[in-house]
Amino acid sequence: MTDHQELRDNLSSIITGVESSVSVPSGSSASSSSGHDDSVNGSLASPSTAPTEDDYTPFPSPVLAATSLPASSLAGLSLSSDGELEPEVDDDKIITEEDKARALELKAAANKAFAAKDFNKSIELYTEAIASNPKESTFWNNRAMSKAKMEEHGAAIADATKAIAINPKYAKAFYRRGLSYLAILRPTDAVPDFKKALAIEPGNKAIRDQLQMTVKLIRRIEFEKAISVGDTETASNKCLSLISSGACTLDPSTVTDFPLPIIPSDPNGRYKPTKEFVEGMVESFKSGGKVPKRIAWEIILGCRDIVEKEKSLVEIEIPEGVTCDVIGDTHGQFFDVCNLLSMTTPPSEDHYMIFNGDLVDRGSWSVEVALTVFAYKWLYPEYVFINRGNHETNDMNKVYGFEGECKAKLGEMTFKLFADVFTTLPLATLVTASQEPASSKSEGSKPAILHQGKRRFFICHGGPPVSKDGVTLAEVAKIDRFGRQPGQEGIMCEMLWTDPQEPNGRGPSKRGVGLGFGPDVTRRWCELNGITAVIRSHEVRAAGYAIEHDGLCITVFSCPNYCDSTGNKAAYIRMRSNGALSYHQFDAVPHPDVKPMAYSSGFNFGGF
């Protein structure tokens, strides 16, 4: 038996369901009221060398409009709290030999932090090195690499641009900037940088391959956009027509490794789920099993029948004795999802679950994750809730792996069906406690904001719609989401894309897409709408969660060791019927030897 086969055979025993011990250094962004602190982890090769094949940048998934995004998304990246993202650098500084020596010491320490996956620390140290010697291009490029690992691609572009200004022959800086442009899906801006890097190093295969892949991606996007014109029938309706015509039948004798759903006597009738079916399917997935296409379609269509009846803002109340778990990004990390379910226990009448978007992409078991969550929604429509994330979008799936994976496992029509149903997913869930709180204490320093004497939480993937003041919950509930992609602006885009920032006010996002919102913006919105706290996901947090904006903005991220490279813990949040929150961390579990983004297109992960 091979090691790979042995791992597959023993996956059920690997899924431990044991929460990780909490041991986190000071300086965390989590409130002490949580009982946990944050730690910083990360990963990559030493930035003083070229990236290895393990150099996975945890790419964000920005909006793709045709083949580029407007440059305005990067405007103002030099601005921070009073407007500046990084401390100002004295470009005219007279640099002494002592400055140079100190900068090299800081760079060496930054390289160690980088190799130890402590990207926040490496950014701090590279920043200090830059302050000592701002005329050394490698410091800027190394900081750009660290920022890219923190998904701060807009800021990485700014740093790489500075490195290029200092050294116009710096191929790595052009390559880094090109990758960051590509990561925020501006491939037409990435191509010139890859061409320039290749002109500097014409024999570099990694650059050449990346350039070719990017050009192919642009052509593919343009072609698929052209052929989609005039196609008005939804994939859901097409699949229903195929089922009714007998074109997608199931031979029950071919399914032997898990119980089937309830199949009506009419061969074209719709299936019904059972607990045994869903749990059996999940167990089958653990050992590499697959579902027939007809069953996959029934799961997806069954989920669609439920979510299309829900408003864009779903409102639920937690009854007495019921717990509700909020799950952040899971990104196709199926074996970690199984571990998570073993800790939380699956959904039931006394245990609700909210999956807060980004089920798919990056991880190479996105199909299994999406089918598992959709199947539970199909089985327990009143206990399971799914918010749309910025990765439940066509163009992101095209680049970040889900489209390729879905086509490989279940065919092109199944991907189109998923893509159609993604647009029916609600954008947020408003959760209200049924019981009064035990105390007025919040996660922050001020008393909790209550609604009619009770706590309630606004849960969405990116954050509340805060590009302007005054947006109400009623406006969110009325968003027309069906068949729509997020676009580049507006309430829907903001709810999938915004990120909290430390300074007050609003600013450009370090990721290069969307905007940042400060603590004052969060408080005004929460007070206007009677929200105890916003719970969002969308960003890696080293401890799996973070409590920010004086307890009014809570991030939860449920992908441990994101992309097999970031070293972070994951977490879920448990809410009780009085609105009390607890935070539960867990670590990654082993999985079969398939790399993240194995089905992706558009990126070359070879070293340079």
Residue 23 in this model has a pLDDT that exceeds 60: no
Residue 306 in this model has a pLDDT that exceeds 90: yes
* Mean pLDDT calculated for residue range 328-341: 98
158 vs 186, residue with greater confidence = 158
Contacts of 329 (CB under 8 A, 6+ apart): 356, 357, 358, 389, 537, 538, 557, 558, 559
Residue at token pair 């719970």: 535
pTM: 0.83
Domain total of the chain: 1
CA distance 349 to 18: 23
Name the pLDDT band for 320 (thresholds 50, 70, 90): very high
Q: What is the pLDDT of residues 476-490, one digit of tens each?
A: 999 999 999 887 778
Residue 232 in this model has a pLDDT that exceeds 60: yes
The one-letter code for the residue type at 604 is N
Name the pLDDT band for 198 (thresholds 50, 70, 90): very high
Note the pLDDT of residue 604. 62
Q: Which of 32-36, 216-220, 298-302 has the highest mean pLDDT?
A: 298-302
Residue 32 in this model has a pLDDT that exceeds 50: no
CA distance 294 to 288: 18
Name the pLDDT band for 438 (thresholds 50, 70, 90): very high
Residue 334 counted as domain residue: yes
Tell how far CA 390 is from the center of its chain: 7
* Mean pLDDT calculated for residue range 518-538: 98
Name the pLDDT band for 531 (thresholds 50, 70, 90): very high
Neighbour tally for 569: CB within 10 Å: 25
291 vs 489, residue with greater confidence = 291
* Crossing angle (nearest 10°) for helices 293-307 and 235-244: 130
Name the pLDDT band for 151 (thresholds 50, 70, 90): confident
Tell how far CA 351 is from the center of its chain: 24
Residue 198 counted as domain residue: no
Mean pLDDT for all residues in the chain: 85
Tell how far CA 203 is from the center of its chain: 35
Residue 326 in this model has a pLDDT that exceeds 80: yes
C-beta of residue 337 within 8 angstroms of C-beta of residue 370: no
DSSP state of 305: H
4 vs 99, residue with greater confidence = 99
CA distance 505 to 122: 27
Name the pLDDT band for 312 (thresholds 50, 70, 90): very high
Tell how far CA 418 is from the center of its chain: 18
Share of the chain above pLDDT 70, in %: 84
Please give the backbone phi and psi of residue 155, each rounded to the nearest 5 degrees, phi first.
Answer: -65, -35
Name the pLDDT band for 22 (thresholds 50, 70, 90): very low
CA distance 410 to 399: 18
> Which string of DSSP letters, residue by residue, matches 201-261?
STT-HHHHHHHHHHHHHHHHHHHHHHHTTT--S-HHHHHHHHHHTTSS---GGG--SS---
Note the pLDDT of residue 328. 98
Note the pLDDT of residue 19. 63
Q: What is the pLDDT of residues 336-347, one digit of tens each?
A: 999 999 999 999
Residue 426 in this model has a pLDDT that exceeds 60: yes
Residue 32 counted as domain residue: no
Residues in the chain: 608
Note the pLDDT of residue 601. 72
* Mean pLDDT calculated for residue range 458-484: 95
Residue 27 in this model has a pLDDT that exceeds 50: no
475 vs 152, residue with greater confidence = 475
Note the pLDDT of residue 602. 67
Number of H helices, E strands in the chain: 20, 14
Note the pLDDT of residue 229. 62
Note the pLDDT of residue 146. 93
Note the pLDDT of residue 594. 94
Query: Helix or strand or coil: residue 303?
Result: helix
Q: What tokens appear for 151 in the block?
A: 């998904």
Residue 203 counted as domain residue: no
DSSP state of 265: S
Give catalytic status of residue 391 as yes or no: yes
Residue 144 counted as domain residue: no
Share of the chain above pLDDT 90, in %: 70
CA distances 519 to 398, 466, 522, 528, 563, Å, are: 35, 11, 5, 14, 30
Q: What is the pLDDT of residues 574-590, one digit of tens each?
A: 999 999 999 999 999 99
CA distances 569 to 30, 336, 554, 564, Å, are: 14, 11, 16, 12
224 vs 327, residue with greater confidence = 327
| Marked catalytic residue, from 36, 153, 391, 591 | 391
Name the pLDDT band for 264 (thresholds 50, 70, 90): very high
Residue 482 counted as domain residue: no
Residue 425 counted as domain residue: yes
Q: Which domain holds residue 384?
A: 236-430+455-460+541-586
CA distances 562 to 42, 79, 117, 139, Å, are: 9, 29, 12, 26
Name the pLDDT band for 296 (thresholds 50, 70, 90): very high
C-beta of residue 470 within 8 angstroms of C-beta of residue 574: no
Residue 262 counted as domain residue: yes
Beta strands 570-575; 581-586: pairing state:
antiparallel
Tell how far CA 359 is from the center of its chain: 8
At 603, which helix (H) or strand (E)?
none
Q: What is the pLDDT of residues 201-229, one digit of tens each?
A: 999 999 999 999 899 888 888 887 776 66
CA distances 417 to 37, 174, 411, 498, 593, Å, are: 41, 39, 10, 27, 28
3 vs 196, residue with greater confidence = 196
Q: What tokens appear for 184 in the block?
A: 């925020």
> Which string of DSSP letters, residue by residue, matches 99-115?
HHHHHHHHHHHHHHHHH
Query: Helix or strand or coil: residue 310?
Result: coil
> Which string of DSSP letters, residue by residue, matches 348-399?
BTTEEEEE-S--SSSSTTHHHHHHHHHHHHHH-TTTEEE---TTSSHHHHHH
CATH number of the structural domain spanning residue 407: 3.60.21.10
Note the pLDDT of residue 510. 85
CA distance 309 to 286: 32
* Mean pLDDT calculated for residue range 48-73: 34
CA distance 423 to 412: 17
302 vs 154, residue with greater confidence = 302
